[in-house]
Chain A
Amino acid sequence: MALGEKFEIGPPAGRERFPRAGKIELGTMRRVALGAFALGLIVFSSATPLFPRIITDQTGRRVDVPENPKRIISLAPSITETLYALGLGDRIVGDTEYCDYPPEARLKPHVGALLNPSLEKIVALKPDLVLGIAEANRRETADQLDRLGVPLYGLTAHSVEETLNSIEDLGKVLGRGAQAHELVAGLRRRVDAVKQEVEHAPRPKVLFVVWYRPLITAGPHTFIADAIGIAGGISISDDLAGEWPRLSLEDALHRDPDIILFPKSESFSPSLDEFQQLAGWKDFRAVKDHRMYFVPDTINRPSPRLIDAMEEVARVLHSEQKSTARGPESSR
C-alpha cells in the first residue's frame, strides 16, 4: 500500500512495515518516537544553545521562555525594581515611563505607559523576554505580543506572600534562583520580625486612601491591604468587593478608622491641615486627633521595597502607643 510505504521512515531498526495507521505496534512506536526525540534533541541543541522552555506563568498563560534571557523589557515599575534587586539591571533593554527606581532605571529606553505601551518600540528593542504584571498591565498587551511571537511572562501579586513568591519565581525564570531565594529569605525574615513585633499590640482600624476625591481605598485582595494587616492594622475596607473599591464618605465615617494612611508621592502630598478644613473629612475622629500619616508610596509597588513600606506602616501604627496618644506628624 502506497500510504504504508510513505510512513516507513523510522530508524533502521524499524524494518516492519506499518500495516495500517491505527495498528502500529507499541514497540515500533516507541523506537520511532525515541529516534525522533533524539534527532530533535540533537538538531535543537546544536542550532539554539538557548533551549526554549514552555513555562506556565503566574497568570496561567503558557509562555516560551528562553533559558537565560539577555534582553529583558519590564512593563511595570515593581518589576524593574525587582530586576535591579536581583542584579539584573544591565539586562533591561527597555522599561516604562513610570520606572523611576533605582534612578538608573529612568535612563533606560521607555516603551510607553503601563496600559498602552508601544508594540513597535517593544519589537524594535529586540527583547528575548517581556515581563508584565496582571495588577498593572492589560491582558490585550499580552495577546498582541503573543501574536508577534514576543514572549511575555506574566506575574501577579494579590498579597505580600504572592509578592515574595513572584520575586522568587522571577529569579528562577531568569536564572537567578539562588540570589532570588536569598533575597526573599531576607525579606521573609523582616516580615516575620514585623509580625512578631505587632503580635500583642492593639490593632488600630486603618483607612488607606488610594484617592480622596472620590474616596477610593484598597480592597481585601490587594497586597496593600495585606501589608497593612501584617503591620498590625485592620483595614476598614476588608469586607468590600473589588480591588480598588469606592467608599462613600459617610460609610467611611461610620466605620470610624483610628488612623488614616496616605501613600506619599510627588504628585500628591496635601498638608494634613487641609483635611481638617475639608468638608466631611474634618469629622473623622482620626483627623480631629491628628492621626493621619503619609507612608512611602512603595506600598503601591509589589517589589522588595513593599517590605520597606510595610515596616514603616508598622512603625506608624504602633509608635504612638509607646510614646504619646498623639501622632508624630501632628502640629499641636
Chain B
Amino acid sequence: MNRTFRSFAIITVALVVFGPLGLIIYQSFLSEAFFSPTARPSLGAYQYVLTDSGFHSAFGTSLLVSLGMTVIAVPLGSLLAFLLVRTDLPWKRFLEPWLLVPIFLSPVVVAFGYVVAVGPVGFFSLWAKSLIGSVPWRLYSLYGLILIAGLTHVPHSFLYVSSALRSLDPSVEEAARVAGAGPWRIAVTVSLPLVLPSILFSSALIFLLGFELFGLPLVLGDPAGLLVLTTYLYKLTNLLGVPSYHLMAVVALSIVALTFPLVYAQRRMLRTAGRFAVIGGKGQAFRPLPLGAFRWPAVGIVVLWLAVTVLLPLVGVALRSVVSQWGEGVNISEVLTLDHFRELQVHPNLIRGIINTLLLGGIGGALSVAFYAVIGLAAHRWQSRWVSFLDYLVMLPRALPGLIVGLAFLWVFLFFKPIAPLRTTLFSLWIAYTVVWLAYGLRLISASLLQVKPELEEAARVIGAGQGKIYGDVTLPLIRFGLVGSWLLMFMMFVREYSTGVYLLGPGTEVIGSLIVSLWGTGALDLISALSVIEVASVGLILFIALRLGVRLDA
C-alpha cells in the first residue's frame, strides 16, 4: 500500500512539473505554434529572439532591477530582522505581523496603488506640487521601479534572517555587550555575520524573484518604455498578430535558464545554512539588547518603511476607488462616490471574477493543501534516494514564474485533446496555481510534519497500526492545526495571485488578479481600483482570521 501510494505521489508530481516544461521546450524548437499544420522543427525562434535588440535590452533591465532590488531589500530586511528579534524595539509585538503583509499583497495592486498615490498625477504628487510647486520624484523610471521592487521585497529577507537570528545563541551578543559594544556594533560585527548564510540565501532568493517580477514592471515600467523579460514575453503575445508561441517559448526558456541555476544554488546554500543555523542556545529566555537612545529612531525606520511600502499604495487604491475622477484642481470632497463598486455589477465577467477568486482560494486552496499533504506524507520518514528526487522535482516550479506556468498549462490544455474542455473551467487555473505554489505549500506541510515526534508514530506502529492507520489516527490529527494554517495561507496566496491566470484568462476562468492585468491595458482605472479594494479586503479578512488563530505567517 505504501509503495503504490509513494509511486503515485512521485509520478503525479513528475507529470505536472515535467509535462508543461517539456511542452515549452518542444514548442521552442518549432517554426510556428504547435497546433499549426505547417509547424516543423526549427531553430528560427532562437535566432529571432537572441538577436532581437528588444530582448537584449529587456535582459539588461531585468538584470539591473534584480541587482538593484537585492541591494535595497537585503540590508534593510536584515536590519529590520535584527531590530525585531534581538533588541528592545518598542511596539515590537504590534509591528511584527505587519512586516510580512507585503508578501500577501498582489504586486499588480501595489503597483497600481503607487501609480494613483505618487504617479505623475497621484494624490500625494499633486499634494506635494501644491506645497513646493513641482513633484520631487518620478515614479515611471528605472529608479522608481528598482526602489519599489526593493522595498516590497524586504519581507523576504526579513523572513530568513529573522528565523536564523532566533536560533542564534544570545550569549554571543551578550559577550560583545560585556566587551563594550553598542547595539549597532553588535549587529554589524556579531549577529549579522553569524547569520551570513541566511543573508546570502535571501539575497539569492530576491535576485531570483527579480527575474520573475511581472506586475510591478508591467504597471510602472511600461509608461517609461521599460521592458523586463516577463513584460517582453507578455508583449510578444500581440506583437506579430498571430500567436507567436515559438518565440514566447524561447523567451520563457531563457528566463528559466536564468532562474534554474539560482534555485539550484539556493538549495545548496540552504543545506549549508541549515548546518550553520543551530549555533547553540536552547531557546532560553534572554534579555533583548537595549537600544538606548536609538529606540525611537529605530521605530522610525520601521514605521517609515511600513508607511511607504504598505500604507502609501493601499491608501492610494482605497482613495481612488471612492472618487469619480482625479486630476489637477479636483477637490476630493466634491468627487466622493461609491459608483465604481456599483459599476462592477454591470460587468458579469468581473462579478464572475470575484466569485471565481474566492472559490479558487477557498475550495481550490483546500484541495491544494490536500494534494500537498499527500505528497508530504509520501516523503515523510521515507529513507530513499527517491525523496531527494522528489525534492528536486518540487523545487523546479520555483524557477518558473507564474506567467510561464500559466502559459505552459494553456498549451497543455490545447495540446492534449482529451483534457481540452477543462481549459475553460476553474480546474485549469487550480492545477496551474497548485504547481506554481508547490514548493511553498510543501514547505508548509513538511514544517508541520517535522513537529511530529517519531515516537508518536512508532508507538502506534508497535501497537499494531499499519501505515494508513498511522497517518489517519496519529500524523494527520496531530498536524490538523498546521493544515488549517496552510489552507489559510494558500487561500491568501491564491486570492492575490495574478500572473498565473493571465494566459488562462477566458470566459469561466476570470480571477481578480488577471482581470486587473487585462483592464490595465484598457486604462479602466475606476474598475481596477474597485477590484483591488475587494481583493485587498478579502486577503485582509483572511489574514485577520489567520492571525487570530495564531497561524505563523513566517513558515
User: Are A and B associated in one complex?
Assistant: no
Chain A residues with a Cβ under 8 A of chain B: none
